[in-house]
Each structure stands twice: as C-alpha cells, then as structure tokens.
C-alpha cells in the first residue's frame, strides 16, 4: 500500500526559511539538524497542507519570515488520495489562502487530498495537563477520520458564544435562549457521534495490532455526567449558568481518559516514557485505522519523537512506520537517531547559517 506523500515542498519566506526546496520520494524522511536549524518549521509548513492552523496552532501572521514580514507561501506537489496534485497555501496580510492545481479552494478541500497525523513535543504533557489539550487531541483525531467534524464544532462554538454573551449580559428572558440551545444540542449530537466513532476506531485499530507500543484504553469523561437531552438540560441549567457567566454543560467540557491497558494504570500516573509510548501507540492506531479507511496510510509528522525513545523502541517505531508504508516526516538533532531507519528512509541535513537556511539530502 503506497502512502499519501509530499513529493516536492517549497517554502518562501516561511518562518526561518527564506527560500527552501525539498524533494521526497515517498519513503520516511529524517530532518536532522541543530537546535534552531528550522526542522519544526518545515513540519509546520507541511501541516498547513491540511485544514486548520497547523501543528503549532500559530496565528497566520507569525508564519511570515522576520524581519521582512511580507507574507509567506508553502507549495507542494503531492501524491493524494485519488491523484497527484499541486497544492499552494499562503497569506499576505490577510487570512490563509489555498489553491489546488492552480484554482482557489477552501481549506477543507485539502482534506479530500491529504490526511495527516502528528505528534509534537507540546503533547508530552497531554495526560497531566488540562482537559482542553486532550479534547483538542481527540478532535484532531476525529478530524482525521471525518474532516467535516470541523463544521459541527464551529456551529456549536458559535451558538455557545452567543449564549454565553446572553449569560454575561444577565439576560433572563427564555425567549432568547431557546433557538441557541436547540442549535447547540443539534451540533452536540453530531460532535458526540463523531467522537464515539473515532474512539471506537482507535480502540479497534489497537486490537490485535502487532506493535511494540502499549495499548491505551480510552473513555470519554463527562464531568457532569452524560446528558441525553442537551437542549432540555441547558434550559434547566440557565440559572446556574447565569451565576457562572458561561455554559457549564456540553461537549466543550468532555475529557478524554486513557488507561495503560496492560497495567490498568491511568495515563496521568504513568512514567514520562510510558506516557509518550501511549501517545505513539494512539498515533499509530490512528494511522492504521485511516489506512484501512482510505486504502492508503496518512502522512505522519513526528517532531522530536525519536529522541525520547530507547534504541529498541526507536527501531520498533521505524519498523511499524515502514510496515504501514507511511511517509513519516521526522525530526532529530543527531543523525544517529535514525541509524536503524537506514536506507528505508531519506535523510536531510538542515542548518541555519546567520539567518540563511540550508537544506541538503544526505545520501
Ligand atoms: N517568523 C519567523 N521569522 C524568522 N525566524 C523565525 C520565525 N519564527 C521562528 N523563527 C526561528 O526559526 C528558527 C528555527 O525554528 P525551529 O523551531 O524550526 O527549530 P528546530 O530546528 O525545530 O529546533 P529544535 O531542535 O530546537 O526544536 C528559530 O531560531 C526561530 O526563532
Ligand atoms: Mg524543533
């Protein structure tokens, strides 16, 4: 099964890269270089070939190279879900734009061509920090299966913002709330169904998989208990929400809980390395499930993942990526981290010499 892949990648005035070009052949990619060389910036550029704000969730103006700050562009040729395409995304003072094969397109069009799954160092504390990060992690996984999940989330958030404004303004007239709560309930039903579906797929993809990484059993936690009829529950909770000045019930409060299955230990009580292994395990499960769904494995963006693993686990990770046939684009500060990937992958040396990035393939 040949994977979705970036074949050429061109960055213009994107973060530290004034002009950079990389050529890939579909094998896993190792980007190697010192701290600050511009490795994560390259991964971020690739992540912008999917809908949304990319793997740093950066504001669009932060992506423009300083000091010029004249706008940025990422262009790529890719092996997509059904064909090869030319993708371009850029911004010049305004919102991010997208072109597919030379024609202006909405961001969502990118999800009909590529799917990506990523792991970044910021996720290392996912299991021990606030629920918001886990919810985002969950929703990113949902989006990888069902890109139109974004629409339900946006519709829900908009209605909730409007309801929260009423609460803050201490509006008590029920007349103002009904339609918003109905909208929230309708979107919440879609969100809940999408999340349940993604969770089931992640669990199924871990079941029986040959993997060196530990299985995580996942559950959704509703801090206030699960609600059958959200519209009614919101109406009943108006008084309490008025006191709080915001909506306390709904899918925006859901948490994702993971348990290290073999030990029965909740993820937040696992060791640092175990927590990382659980994340990798879920990332691989996500990729396997997508490969089954789409007939081709997604692109994986793995920032500094190798550095956290012992040599045995590193080899296992590369073996699993190669078995999956996925183009994993990985970063590391030492070439030795990718020794056991060997000729199964491509390697690039990334450097930054006084504000000028240089990239060369290492044979
Ligand atoms: N908008 C920008 N314009 C110019 N330079 C930027 C911009 N944003 C970030 N940089 C710089 O890009 C450089 C490379 O960042 P990047 O995060 O890609 O490094 P890295 O190779 O991943 O390093 P590390 O190994 O430390 O993670 C940093 O020095 C950063 O300050
Ligand atoms: Mg980095």
* Domain extent at residue 10: 1-115+298-363
Number of domains in the chain: 2
Q: How far is CA 155 from CA 180, 188, 198, in A?
A: 10, 9, 20
pLDDT in the model for residue 354: 79
Per the CB < 8 A criterion, the answer to whether 4 and 327 are in contact is yes
Clarify whether residues 329 and 262 are in a common domain: no
Ligand having the closest approach to the CA of 58? 1
Ligand having the closest approach to the CA of 36? 1
Clarify whether residues 288 and 355 are in a common domain: no
Q: What CATH number did the domain enclosing 353 receive?
A: 3.40.50.300
- CB of 37 closer than 6 angstroms to any ligand 1 atom: yes
Ligand 2 is an ion; residues with CB less than 5 A from it: 40
Ligand having the closest approach to the CA of 17? 1
pLDDT in the model for residue 2: 83
pLDDT by residue (tens digit) across 168-187? 999 999 999 999 999 999 99
Clarify whether residues 196 and 88 are in a common domain: no
Clarify whether residues 51 and 105 are in a common domain: yes
Residues 6+ apart with CB under 8 A from 29: 327, 328, 329, 330, 345, 346, 347, 348
pLDDT by residue (tens digit) across 24-77? 999 999 999 999 999 999 999 999 999 999 999 999 999 999 998 889 999 999
pLDDT by residue (tens digit) across 262-274? 999 999 999 999 9
Cα separation, 249 vs 241, in Å, equals: 9
Identify the residue whose tokens are 């010029």: 68
Centroid of ligand 1 to alpha carbon of 17 (angstroms) = 9
Mean pLDDT of 239-254: 97
Cα separation, 196 vs 206, in Å, equals: 16
- CB of 65 closer than 6 angstroms to any ligand 1 atom: yes
Cα separation, 69 vs 61, in Å, equals: 8
Q: What are phi and psi of 72, to 5 degrees?
A: -140, 165
Pocket probe mutation, ligand 1, options 38, 122, 331, max atoms within 8 Å of Cβ: 38
Clarify whether residues 207 and 325 are in a common domain: no
Closest Cα to atom 28, ligand 1: which residue?
36
Clarify whether residues 238 and 167 are in a common domain: yes
Three-state secondary structure of 179-228: HHHHHHHHHHHHHHHHHHHHHHHHHHHHCCCCCCCCCEEEEEECCCCCCC
Closest Cα to atom 7, ligand 1: which residue?
15
Boundary of a domain, candidates 275, 295, 315: 295
Centroid of ligand 2 to alpha carbon of 304 (angstroms) = 7
Residues 6+ apart with CB under 8 A from 254: 131, 135, 138, 195, 220, 221, 222
- CB of 332 closer than 6 angstroms to any ligand 1 atom: no
DSSP state string for 110-129: GGGT--EEEE-GGGGGTTTS
Clarify whether residues 84 and 35 are in a common domain: yes
Centroid of ligand 2 to alpha carbon of 43 (angstroms) = 9
């Amino acid at each position: 099964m040949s994977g979705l892949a970036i074949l050429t990648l061109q960055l213009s005035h994107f973060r530290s890269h004034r002009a950079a070009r990389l050529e890939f052949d579909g094998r896993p990619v190792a980007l190697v270089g010192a701290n600050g060389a511009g490795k994560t910036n390259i991964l971020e550029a690739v992540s912008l070939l999917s809908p949304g704000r990319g793997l740093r969730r950066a504001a669009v103006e932060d992506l423009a190279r300083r000091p010029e700050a004249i706008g940025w562009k990422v262009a790529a040729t890719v092996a997509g879900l059904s064909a090869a395409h030319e993708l371009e995304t850029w911004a010049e003072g305004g919102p991010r734009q997208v072109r597919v094969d030379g024609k202006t397109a909405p961001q969502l069009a990118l999800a009909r061509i590529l799917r990506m799954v990523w792991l970044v160092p910021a996720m290392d504390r996912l299991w021990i920090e606030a629920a918001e990060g886990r919810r985002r992690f969950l929703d990113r996984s949902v989006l990888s299966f069902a890109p139109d999940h974004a629409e339900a989330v946006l519709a829900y958030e908009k209605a909730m913002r409007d309801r929260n404004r009423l609460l803050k303004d201490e509006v008590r007239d029920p007349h103002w709330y009904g339609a918003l709560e109905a909208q929230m309930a309708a979107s919440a039903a879609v969100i809940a169904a999408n999340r349940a579906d993604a969770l089931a797929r992640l669990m199924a993809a871990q079941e029986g998989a040959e993997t060196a990484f530990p299985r995580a059993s996942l559950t959704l936690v509703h801090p206030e208990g699960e609600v059958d009829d959200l519209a009614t529950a919101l109406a009943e909770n108006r008084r309490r929400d008025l006191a709080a000045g915001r909506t306390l019930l709904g899918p925006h409060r859901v948490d994702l809980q993971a348990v290290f299955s073999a030990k029965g230990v909740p993820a937040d009580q696992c060791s640092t390395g175990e927590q990382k292994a659980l994340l990798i395990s879920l990332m691989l499960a996500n990729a396997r499930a997508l490969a089954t769904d789409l007939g081709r494995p997604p692109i994986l963006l793995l920032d500094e993942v190798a550095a956290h693993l012992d040599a045995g686990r590193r080899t296992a990770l590369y073996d699993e990526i190669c078995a999956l046939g996925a183009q994993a684009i990985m970063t590391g500060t030492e070439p030795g981290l990718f020794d056991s990937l060997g000729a199964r992958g491509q390697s690039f040396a990334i450097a930054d010499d006084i504000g000028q990035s240089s990239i060369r393939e290492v044979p």
